[in-house]
Amino acid sequence: MPRPYLKDNSQQCRARKIKCDGHQPTCLRCQRASRNCEWSNGSAREPQQSKSPVSLSQGFSATRPRSTEYVSTKDPEKALQDPHVAEIFRFYFEHLAGWYDLNDAKRHFGDVVPSCARKNSLLLSAILAFAAAAQSSCYLKRDLWDLAESYHLESVQALLRLTKDLDEFKTGETLAAICLLRSYEIISQNVSCQNHLQGSYSLLASRPAALETELLSAGFWNYLREDITVALIEKRSLMIELSHEHLPPAVRGEDDLANRITYLLGKVINRCLDRDASPLEQYEWESYKDDLGKWRASLPASFEPICTPGLHGESKFPCLWTVSGWHASSLQYYHTALIILSIAKPIRGDMNTLQQIDRISAFENELQGHAIQVSALAISSNSAPVWVNSFGPISFCGPWLKDCQKTFELINETQTWGSKTGWPVMSIVESLSRSGI
């Protein structure tokens, strides 16, 4: 296949009268649309590199791209010589990698993944697809989105090629790329369109992640958290099955406790939110509740939130902040699991009407109490990784708030987090708005 190259600014696609991305023999945009690629009015040339300095002030408004030309990642080191590619790559590990390292003390996605991407074209293209999409969502720049689509297509094509050699496919780098591409799907607001990624994950899941390399294990926990987020928003079971072999064999650090509650929540979701599942038996309910109780009792004092009234100004929620992101996310998962179990609790059939009224009142108060905890931990945090991981729990738990003022505050905060992270929050806001009416 001829090497892709860049065209000058005068080269256009005849059919669409827009600039061609230069991929030969068929540009990536035309490949996606399954149409013939016809271009004219220009000849190939090497791109001129901009000499303007890179602006990297704090926050998501920092990077301002120079150009949106597609540069293939077939040779990762060569691709990273392009200033624009380098800016997008840096944006990933400076602003986005923390989403993945939320529960990882060893920072695999912030430190190991970027290093691997310098040699792994699939990993680099996945990083560029996700990072360009995130920036596009923040800046509302269509040209960056076109670039993100090009790198997404390149990543999917690379995944398909890798499936021909499963020994090469079953690596931590591949699973890390799948996690990044799943984030791309979410950022692009195609939350449910993850079939090819599910198929890719299934090939990797034939061996338990806990028995594999550290990067494979880190990728598994990220994939599971992403699965939990979408499942809670869509109120369904996970796309993956969980076995006891996935559970961390021993608790060696606080991040293992964070992974353990992730596993427990995943098990509760799969049992209780499966549309075809039978109601919980009493013994099952007690077993899940006991597992959650044991996890909560095992937490060191460092997990306890600090209550500082007024720390974040006026708020209808208590100010409950933690010293680590995984403390907040773990407690949110714990309260979310308890809400699901409360809803799934087997109901006695011998209650009279007044007893049922009392039960319903106590039930609503219990759900609201958990929802307040989930919301407060997000609102009191200044961490983008915590906000992103909160979207699933907030979507599921937030509607149980009975105070309209709390609901409106949570809606406003959710919209702010969405604008800061590029995460699509409209479905969450709509769900909260319906409950606040």
β-strand partners of 44:
7
DSSP H or E run through 307: strand 306-307
Helix (H, G, I), strand (E, B) or coil at 12: strand
DSSP 40: E
Q: Under a CB-based contact definition with an 8 Å cutoff, are residues 104 and 329 in contact?
A: no
Contacts with 348 (C-beta within 8 Å, 6 or more apart), sequence order: none
CB-based burial of residue 203 (10 Å sphere; 0-12 exposed, 13-18 middle, 19+ buried)?
middle
Q: What is the pLDDT of residue 352?
A: 82
Alpha-helical regions (H) of 101-171: 113-117, 121-139, 142-162, 166-169
Confidence tier at 68 by pLDDT (50, 70, 90): low
Where would I find the H helices in 188-324?
Answer: 195-204, 214-234, 254-272, 282-298
Amino acid at 348: R
- pLDDT higher than 50, residue 183: yes
Identity of the amino acid at 381:
S
The yes-or-no verdict on residue 319 having pLDDT over 70 is yes
Task: Single out the residue of 218, 240, 120, 241 nearest to residue 172, CA to CA.
Answer: 218
Q: How far apart are CA 289 and CA 276, in angstroms?
A: 22
Q: Distance from first CA to last CA of the chain, Å, rounded?
A: 58
Could you tell me the residue ranges of all domains in the chain?
1-35, 70-245, 247-436
Q: What is the mean pLDDT of residues 51-77?
A: 57
| Residue 197 Cα distances to 204, 293, 322, 394, angstroms | 11, 34, 34, 25
What phi and psi values does residue 12 have, to the nearest 5 degrees? -135, 160
Per-residue pLDDT of 254-311, as tens digits, reads: 999 999 999 999 999 999 999 999 999 999 999 999 999 999 999 999 999 999 988 8
What pLDDT digit, counting tens, does each position of 330-362 carry? 999 999 999 999 999 998 777 888 888 888 889
Position 416 confidence tier, pLDDT thresholds 50, 70, 90: very high
Instruction: Look at the chain and count its residues.
Output: 437
- Strands in 39-40's sheet, in edge-to-edge order, are 18-19, 12-13, 39-40
Dihedral in degrees, nearest 10, Cα atoms 210, 215, 218, 224: -80
Q: d(Cα 272, Cα 248) in Å, to the nearest integer?
A: 22
Per-residue pLDDT, averaged over 363-384, amounts to 96
Q: What is the mean pLDDT of residues 187-204?
A: 60
